[in-house]
C-alpha cells in the first residue's frame, strides 16, 4: 500500500507512474494521518454506511473509509488518478468510482448515501455545494476540507464581513461548524493558504419556497445597494403581471412593510429567517409569469 504520509514516497510514486499535479484541479494530498483520521471520525457513521467521497486523488481517505467498513462512492476527474484508483480498489465490492467532473456526474449516482467527505478545491467548493443543495441532494453529515476563506463564508453569520448568499444557502439546510485550521505543511504539494475542515449537520426540518434561493442571490447581487433597491430589481424580472414601475414600487413597499423592513437595510445584515419570510410573502402573491 502506498505510504500516504510521506512526501518523498508520494513524489516518487507520481514520477514512477508518470503523473503530475494539475493546478486547474486544485490538487493537494493531505499527508497528515491524524487530520485524516479526525475528519473521517467527524462523519460519525456506523460500519456499512455509504459515503460519497469527492476528489479521492490517490485514495488516502478512500483506504481509511474502506478500512472502517464503509461503502465508498468516489468521484474523481483526473484520468491518471482514476487509473490508480482502479488498480487499488476496483476489486473491492464496497468501492464504486464515478469518472469525470463531479458537477456533471453526481446525479448519475443512485446511492442513498447520507454522508459526504471531500477535499474540495476553491473553484469547486461553493459551486458544488450550491448545486447539491438547490437540487435537493442533501446529506445527514458532510465533512469537507476547503480553503480557510471559503470555510469562513460557509459558516458566517449575519452582520459579519464573510456573510454572503452562499452563507445563507449553507445555513438553509445545515448547521455549519468549523472544525480545525489545517496548515499548508499538512499537504503535498503545500498550498499558499491555510485550509479548514468544516462539518455540516443537516437540520431536522426546513421548507423553502422555490423562489427562496433566487431571491437570496438577488438581494446579495449588489452589496452596496439597499434591500429595497435589490428587491425592486428582483420584482421587475419576477412577473409580467407588473406592468409599470409604479406597480413594482407599490408591491415592493407592501412586501417590506409586511416584513417589518424599511428598505434601507442591506442583505448582509439580514438573518435567514428574514429571507425566508420575504420569500414566503412573495410566493403567496403568486407572481407567476
Per-residue pLDDT at 240: 55
Q: What's the pLDDT tens digit per position in 210-257?
A: 999 999 999 999 888 999 999 999 998 876 555 567 788 999 999 999
Per-residue pLDDT at 111: 85
Per-residue pLDDT at 194: 96
Helices (H) and strands (E) in the chain, counts: 12, 9
Q: Cα–Cα distance between 202 and 141 in angstroms, integer? A: 6
Per-residue pLDDT at 123: 76
Per-residue pLDDT at 238: 74
Per-residue pLDDT at 141: 97
Per-residue pLDDT at 287: 64
Q: For the whole model, what pTM was predicted?
A: 0.92
Calculate the average pLDDT of the chain: 92
Supply the DSSP symbol for 286.
Answer: T
Per-residue pLDDT at 26: 60
Per-residue pLDDT at 24: 58
Say if residues 261 and 242 touch (Cβ distance below 8 Å).
Answer: no
| Continuous H helices in the chain | 7-17, 33-42, 60-67, 79-89, 102-105, 122-134, 148-155, 165-173, 212-221, 227-236, 245-258, 272-284
Per-residue pLDDT at 1: 79
Instruction: Collect the ranges in the chain with pLDDT lower than 50.
Output: 289
Amino acid at each position: 500500500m502506498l505510504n500516504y504520509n510521506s512526501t518523498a514516497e508520494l513524489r516518487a510514486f507520481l514520477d514512477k507512474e508518470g503523473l503530475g499535479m494539475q493546478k486547474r484541479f486544485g490538487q493537494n494530498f493531505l499527508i497528515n494521518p491524524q487530520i485524516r483520521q479526525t475528519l473521517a471520525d467527524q462523519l460519525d457513521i456506523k460500519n456499512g454506511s455509504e459515503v460519497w467521497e469527492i476528489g479521492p486523488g490517490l485514495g488516502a481517505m478512500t483506504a481509511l473509509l474502506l478500512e472502517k467498513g464503509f461503502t465508498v462512492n468516489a468521484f474523481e476527474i483526473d484520468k491518471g488518478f482514476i487509473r490508480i484508483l482502479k488498480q487499488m480498489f476496483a476489486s473491492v465490492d464496497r468501492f464504486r468510482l464515478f469518472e469525470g467532473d463531479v458537477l456533471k456526474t453526481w446525479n448519475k449516482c443512485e446511492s442513498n448515501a447520507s454522508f459526504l467527505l471531500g477535499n474540495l478545491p476553491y473553484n469547486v467548493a461553493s459551486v458544488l455545494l450550491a448545486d447539491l443543495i438547490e437540487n435537493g441532494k442533501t446529506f445527514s453529515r458532510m465533512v469537507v476540507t476547503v480553503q480557510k476563506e471559503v470555510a469562513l463564508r460557509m459558516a458566517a453569520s449575519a452582520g459579519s464581513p464573510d456573510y454572503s448568499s452562499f452563507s445563507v444557502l449553507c445555513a438553509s439546510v445545515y448547521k455549519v461548524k468549523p472544525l480545525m485550521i489545517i496548515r499548508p505543511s499538512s499537504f503535498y504539494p503545500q498550498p499558499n493558504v491555510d485550509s479548514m475542515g468544516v462539518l455540516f449537520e443537516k437540520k431536522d426540518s426546513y421548507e423553502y419556497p422555490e423562489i427562496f434561493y433566487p431571491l437570496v442571490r438577488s438581494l446579495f447581487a449588489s452589496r452596496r445597494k439597499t434591500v429595497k433597491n435589490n428587491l425592486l430589481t428582483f420584482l421587475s424580472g419576477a412577473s409580467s403581471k407588473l406592468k409599470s414601475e409604479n406597480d413594482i414600487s407599490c408591491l415592493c413597499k407592501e412586501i417590506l412593510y409586511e416584513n417589518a423592513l424599511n428598505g434601507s437595510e442591506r442583505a448582509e445584515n439580514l438573518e435567514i429567517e428574514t429571507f425566508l419570510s420575504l420569500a414566503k410573502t412573495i410566493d403567496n402573491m403568486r407572481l407567476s409569469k
